[in-house]
Amino acid sequence: MDINRKAPVVASAEGPIRAPLDLVWAVHTDIAAWAAWNPDVQSVAIDGPVRPGTQFRWKSGGATIISKIEEVEPRRRIVWTGRAVGLRAVHVWTFAGQDGGVWVRSEESFQGLIAVLFGGAMRRRLGSALQRGVVALKKECERRVQ
């Protein structure tokens, strides 16, 4: 599964993390702990292990989001879909080992009436949020290896 590249709102962020791939993957897929290291996440509740079909509910930016894990390729890729206030989202995270660490990419698409009506502003907000998420993951992982 991929994001919908033709959706009204599409954004991405990426960057390097100087930490082992196993650590980056473990931090990112400990969904229940996101609020401890990502300032954009206020709360998270997950209904089971990180595997396709597992749902989690989380609050970010004042919105409550209900997400379902769609794909998991350990240490490589995780995909989930989400619903919140008239929006449908697809979020893909990819992880690639590289010299001295990991290259991380976060991509997301929004569909729905709100995305059509407020596409430009939502694209900017989503791009900033994805960048903050990559930076928060980087800071947490690099803090753990020091």
Give domain limits for the chain. 9-145
- Which residue(s) pair with 84 in the sheet? 87
What pLDDT score does 93 carry?
Answer: 98
Q: Residues 117-137: pLDDT tens digits?
A: 999 999 999 999 999 999 999
Taking CA atoms, 132 is separated from 49, 88, 98, 112, in Å, by 25, 21, 22, 24
Query: Do 71 and 77 meet the contact criterion of CB atoms below 8 Å apart?
Result: yes
Rg for the chain (alpha carbons), in Å?
15
Query: Do 85 and 76 meet the contact criterion of CB atoms below 8 Å apart?
Result: no
| CATH number for the domain whose boundaries are 9-145 | 3.30.530.20
Q: Residues 34-90: pLDDT tens digits?
A: 999 999 999 999 999 999 999 999 999 888 999 999 999 999 999 999 998 889 999
